[in-house]
Copies of this chain bind each other. A is one copy, B any other.
């Protein structure tokens, strides 16, 4: 069944909030998200800034200890205006170089939704007009955290949240651990495109049309978000410093290979040895994100 949901309010935390809609496993949700500052498709601010979230959606049958399966089917800008930060964040350059960062207003981008491009329209610099392809993604989305916490959309964790990972595009399937009855799915913070690491503190921030389909894997417990697309399987680790993100994501992958792909500990380690890849999700938010990946071509058959 396909649900068309128009949000009337938004959340700035992921937590055990009142569901806005209850759906069955296998149902599809078509909805919209506002941009990181609460502006909608008409460039009207309709809610306070801070990655406002659409939802939460209650997925029937999902219980703590299960896994939520989320197919990202459509993520596409519903307006033509995007913006981003105009300098690399202070924590991402050498401390002694902070003083050389430029001081400038937000950068503005014009999105061409037919050509799938974004063009930088200001502020003026020697770079001039820059046009790049768009790769629309969700920067902040996930489920309600453990222990009935309500956690700011500024950060991320086992429950997802503000991972700001370029891989969360249409065509990707995401797996989240379930901590609350119904999982309580939140969606927000669309980026028309984003550099690795979200080093200016934002992608090209924009409001989105979103379509996702949710399933539940009963009795399957995972530790961190996982995902896959046509080429890769991946695990997501969130923490500081980046080293700890890598530890979380790598450990989660070692476990996944042993539970789902029939490998023993030695086989899982040997497979990762020369085949593993890592992506930098973000190095800007309170918790950073790194992603551990394996190409599907080297995987044993799934059990």
Residues of A that sit less than 8 Å from B by CB: 12-13, 15, 50, 84-102, 104, 107, 118, 120, 123, 125-128, 130, 132, 146-152, 193-197, 199-200, 203-204, 239-244, 246-248, 250-251, 254, 262-278, 280, 283, 288, 290, 298, 300
Q: Can you name the residue of chain B whose Cβ is closest to the Cβ of A151?
A: B149
The secondary-structure label for the interface of chain A is mixed
Are A266 and B102 touching (Cβ within 8 A)?
A: yes
Shortest Cβ gap from A280 to chain B (Å)? 4
- A-B pairs with beta carbons under 8 Å apart, 14 shown: A86-B269, A87-B269, A90-B98, A91-B243, A91-B247, A97-B254, A104-B269, A146-B152, A148-B150, A149-B152, A196-B276, A199-B272, A241-B243, A242-B246
Are A93 and B250 touching (Cβ within 8 A)?
A: yes
Per the bound structure, the CA–CA distance linking A289 and B263 in Å amounts to 30
Known: A88-B250, A99-B99, A127-B267. 17 other contacts (CB 8 A): A50-B147, A88-B272, A93-B247, A94-B247, A97-B254, A101-B269, A102-B264, A127-B270, A149-B151, A195-B274, A195-B277, A196-B276, A196-B277, A240-B240, A241-B241, A243-B283, A246-B280
Shortest Cβ gap from A28 to chain B (Å)? 30
Per the bound structure, the CA–CA distance linking A277 and B277 in Å amounts to 14
Per the bound structure, the CA–CA distance linking A276 and B199 in Å amounts to 8
